[in-house]
Structure 1
Amino acid sequence: MFIIGDKIVYPMHGAGIVEGIEEKKILGETRRYYILKVPCGDMKIMIPVDTSDDIGVRRIISEAALIDVMSTLEDVTSEMSANWNRRYRENMEKLKTGNAVEVAEVVRNLVRMDREKKLSTGEKKMLSNAKQILLSEIILVRGMGQIEANDMVDQAI
């Protein structure tokens, strides 16, 4: 269980700070929710406390683990399917894990692919989402602003 002030990651949405834990009645069911404040986009997310483990909510990575993430961004592009549909599904599976290194891999590969040949609309949207997820965690790990974090990622790739 997390407490107010904890920095956590919600897969597919990004990292944020637990601002509160509230009981809410939604669709006739009363449950406790973490209220997560995400640094990118000034968004708040409600996460059911009782299913947070099942959906992969975790604490943010350490500074040491961030070094692995940055190394992944600098690393060679991993092999991707030439088939757009298969590549999209494979990348989506990586994003769903919530693993920062896998998210960084998706960002790196899509950025480099976009440089070679323009991405489809779906992959552009996926890249934007993956980058926001990655940036939100870097912002909280390093205590930096979004522009700084974005520059750091862009320079690494």
Structure 2
Amino acid sequence: MEVDHLFEIGDKIVYPMHGAGVIKAIEEKEIQGKTQQYFIMVFPVRKLQLMLPIAKMDDSGMRLVLNMTAIEKVMDMFRQGEIDRSLTYKQRYKINTDKMKTGKTQDGAEVIRDLMLVKKEKALNSNEKMMLREAMQFLISELELSNSMTEMQAADLLNDRLNVEKDAG
């Protein structure tokens, strides 16, 4: 079976709502009577393995991890921005959820920035705390794979950036 796709075994990828991982294999499998080729992806930070039908790759939002220079530019946004105080919690949660579903590093960083700004003014509710953890884990996983660092090194880098930006703001 001839497959024409952009990704190969060993590619470091980002998959929306799951973070950064690696394509471990490309396998043909029969599931529910239908034979298809699948990307087998592992997500080390989440200790998770997923299969994605190659036919659905274009609609999945899967992309290659950004390089460190691009991630640094995205993290520059931590020192910019204001809270839209006119938004209700539900509106803010929907906006942030939609951003997380894109799988874009910039959108995830915006969620982190915005929730950190809210957190400065008032305590986050449990859903917002969970979303902040998820957004930070997403960025940590991409930092880890893009720069061949450990999870702890990536977390320290992100926290340092957030603290520096918080102190500068």
Is 1:15–2:45 an aligned residue pair?
A: no
Q: CA separation in 2, counterparts of 1:30 and 1:54?
A: 19
- Aligned match for 1:28, one of 29, 33, 45: 33
Letter in 2 for 1:74: R
Letter in 1 for 2:50: I
Query: Percent of pairs identical after alignment?
Result: 39
CA RMSD of aligned residues (A): 1.7
State how many pairs are aligned. Answer: 157
Letter in 2 for 1:144: M
Deviates more, 1:68-77 or 1:51-60: 68-77
Q: CA separation in 1, counterparts of 2:53 and 2:124?
A: 35
Q: CA separation in 1, counterparts of 2:156 and 2:34?
A: 44
- Conservation of the 8 A alpha-carbon contact between 1:24 and 1:33: yes
Q: Provide Cα deviations, 1:70-90, integer angstroms capped at 9, x if missing partner.
A: 212333445365301110010
Deviates more, 1:19-28 or 1:45-54: 19-28
Q: Name the structure 2 match of 1:148.
A: 153
Q: CA separation in 1, counterparts of 2:13 and 2:155?
A: 20
Q: CA separation in 1, counterparts of 2:99 and 2:92?
A: 11
Q: Name the structure 2 match of 1:127.
A: 132
Unaligned runs of 5+ in 2: 163-169
Is 1:46–2:55 an aligned residue pair?
A: no
Q: Provide Cα deviations, 1:38-72, integer angstroms capped at 9, x if missing partner.
A: 12032212112111111111111122211212212
Q: CA separation in 2, counterparts of 1:38 and 1:80?
A: 36
Max Rg structure: 2
Aligned in 2, Cα 1:128/1:26: closer, same or farther, shift over 3 Å?
Answer: farther
